[in-house]
Amino acid sequence: MRSEKLTLLLAFFALQTALFGQTWVEKAALPDTAFARHHPVTFSIDGYGYLLGGSATQSPYLSDFYRYDPLADQWEQLPDFPGPARSYSYAIVYDGKAYMGFGFGLTSNMSDLWEYDPIAGTWTEKALCPGDGRGHPAFLEANGKIYVGLGGGDMGNLKDFWEYDIATDQWEQMPDFPSYPRHHPFHFSIAGMVYAAFGHGSESVNGSTIYRDIFRFDPQDDTWEQMEDFPGEQRVAGTQFSHNGKGYVLSGEGADHYYLEEGEFWEYDPVNDAWKQLPSMPGSGRWAPGSFVIGNTVYATCGTALVDNMNAENQKDLWAYQIPASSGTVIPSKLPYALEVYPNPAQDLVFIRGTLIGETHFQLMGADGRVIQRGRYSHSGIALTGLPGGIYGLLLQDGELRYQARFVKD
């Protein structure tokens, strides 16, 4: 049944590409019984999109939970989240499970963390973060660890940074973010590196407390590095994701903390430390929308948007955009020598061409970032038998060095 669904999804993604290419297409809105909202928690697992909580005019903190099926273009309501209702929270996905936490609730700023198992349909609370409770922090995953930092707490804007080990259920404090404390930053991870950018602080830079700087954290040596500033207008309170070795930021508010004229969509290339603007999402920029990626398509939903020149309303619509696909792109690594994935496209086996120094381990990932298989790499190659055609990611760890690339399976 699972292989049949993957085959259907691939056929669906191919049809979507033919139908709307690089334009935004409106899809099914949240059910009539669901409130329009901002700050929803969004993620995707195994070909489905998920949306949880957020803030509505009718209630500042929600706990309702929905699943979106792109094949049927239909939403299904799931049992409510069992923990405290919340908004200004985020989620990541690792190894087929979602991890969600932090945010603002009725009684306090939260520092909790929850694990969602989509097969069992259950939530499990994990270890509390020792740091301050906070809303709209940076919240992302790299190398099997969750990184949380910045955000707004009881004492204002924060800049501390924490690492959570999923395997051991333990937290450890990392070096602080190296610039101004801020909340509602944009954040994503690429090739085991963590990026935190932009956001809203208290210190004025060029006449605004909204920023355009971006910093990269390297978990291998726990160091921060400043990257080139974003070339567009300063921004805050949008949505973000990473996909196929690139980072993406979508919509939000500008330097005046007011809606951008358009729902701007930008792509970050870590190889060149450069940004490229993509087609804007229809309408004005949105404050605090959500997004999830299924296959090669990003879905954006909810948030608060201008409905005329003066009035703004919460939204519950859903828009889809086919991300331009590219294959075989090498992402910056710490390796001092060249490696290559071959053949590309591949069929039953894929190999690594180049010199491997030590014991090399690999992770094979689907287009949604889910780990499909992992193990120790050998010269007999990595078996692809039984996997459907499509774009895959390969992460190699060679001692303390790493290499990541993409390839296509026919």
Give percent of the chain above pLDDT 90: 67
* CA atoms lying within 13 Å on the CB side of residue 124: 11
Cα 155 from Cα 153, distance rounded (Å) = 5
| Second-level CATH architecture of 2-322 | 6 Propeller (2.120)
Would you say residue 158 has pLDDT above 50? yes
Concatenated DSSP letters for 102-168? EEE-SSSEEEEEEEEETTTTEEEE-PPPSS---BS-EEEEETTEEEEE--EETTEEB--EEEEETTT
| pLDDT value for 408 | 85
Predicted confidence (pLDDT) per residue in 340-364, tens digit: 788 888 888 988 877 665 678 888 8
Would you say residue 264 has pLDDT above 90? yes
Q: Where in the chain is the domain with CATH 2.120.10.80?
A: 2-322
| pLDDT value for 338 | 53
Query: Which has more confidence, 7 or 41?
Result: 41
Would you say residue 88 has pLDDT above 90? yes
Residue 47: name the closest of 296, 381, 337 by CA.
Answer: 296
Fold classified for 340-409: Immunoglobulin-like (2.60.40)
Predicted confidence (pLDDT) per residue in 204-240, tens digit: 999 999 999 999 999 999 999 999 999 999 999 999 9
Would you say residue 7 has pLDDT above 70? no
Cα 236 from Cα 256, distance rounded (Å) = 10
| pLDDT value for 274 | 94
- Of the pLDDT bands very low, low, confident and very high (cuts 50, 70, 90), residue 332 is very low
What's the whole-number mean pLDDT along residues 359-383? Answer: 81
| pLDDT value for 369 | 66
| pLDDT value for 328 | 38
Give percent of the chain above pLDDT 70: 88
What does pLDDT average to over the chain? Answer: 88
| pLDDT value for 265 | 97
Q: Where in the chain is the domain with CATH 2.60.40.3080?
A: 340-409
| pLDDT value for 358 | 65
| pLDDT value for 335 | 41
Would you say residue 4 has pLDDT above 70? no
Predicted confidence (pLDDT) per residue in 294-331, tens digit: 988 999 999 999 998 789 999 999 999 998 765 334 44
| pLDDT value for 19 | 41
What pTM, to 2 d.p., does this model score?
A: 0.77
Predicted confidence (pLDDT) per residue in 101-147, tens digit: 999 999 889 999 999 999 999 999 999 999 999 999 999 999 999 99
Cα 201 from Cα 101, distance rounded (Å) = 22
| pLDDT value for 22 | 64
Which residue has 């190398």 as its token pair? 143
